[in-house]
Amino acid sequence: MSIIADNKIPFLKGVLDEVADLVYLPGRDISSEHVREGDALITRTRTFCDASLLDGSGVKFIATATIGYDHIDTEYCARQGITWTNAPGCNASSVAQYILSVLLNIAKQDGIDLKDRSIGIIGVGHVGSKVEKISRA
């Protein structure tokens, strides 16, 4: 199996080496020539996965290491039988930590004591549920 991967995806190098031949390239530089013989593509938002990149390739699977997938032409993939996936919630912990650090900073600057206070969380998806969990600690 041949996989073309964005070289900026953290912790990827070495993980799939036993099961596939990987070619690591800067995401912006991945071209139709690079994917022509590929079976799979592991990307970020820098690589636009559409007909101009994928026509004539052997790619049957695209994974993006991002929450968003607007860089993947999902309709094209459906027509071509290309399976794709994204990574919802991949940065939820970092975002939740950022939210709470900003909240603590504002409270400190404004002299607000947060002891025995409640926090209102609008939306308890990937990020909101993490904010709730950390807030209870």
Q: CB of 84 within 8 A of CB of 69?
A: yes
Confidence of residue 137 (pLDDT cuts 50, 70, 90): confident
Q: CB of 26 within 8 A of CB of 19?
A: no
> For residue range 22-70, what is the model confidence (pLDDT) as tens digits?
999 999 999 999 999 999 999 999 999 999 999 999 999 999 999 999 9
Task: Name the burial class of residue 108, with classes exposed (0-12), middle (13-18) and buried (19+) by CB atoms within 10 angstroms of its CB.
Answer: exposed
> Scanning the structure block, which residue is given the tokens 């991949």?
90
Write down the pLDDT at residue 111.
Answer: 95
Gap between the terminal Cα atoms of the chain:
45
CB neighbourhood size of 18 (10 A): 6
Q: In CATH, which superfamily holds the domain spanning 2-85?
A: NAD(P)-binding Rossmann-like Domain (3.40.50.720)
Q: Any idea where the domains of the chain sit in the sequence? A: 2-85, 92-136
Percent of the chain whose predicted confidence (pLDDT) is above 90: 89
> DSSP 3-state assignment of 12?
coil
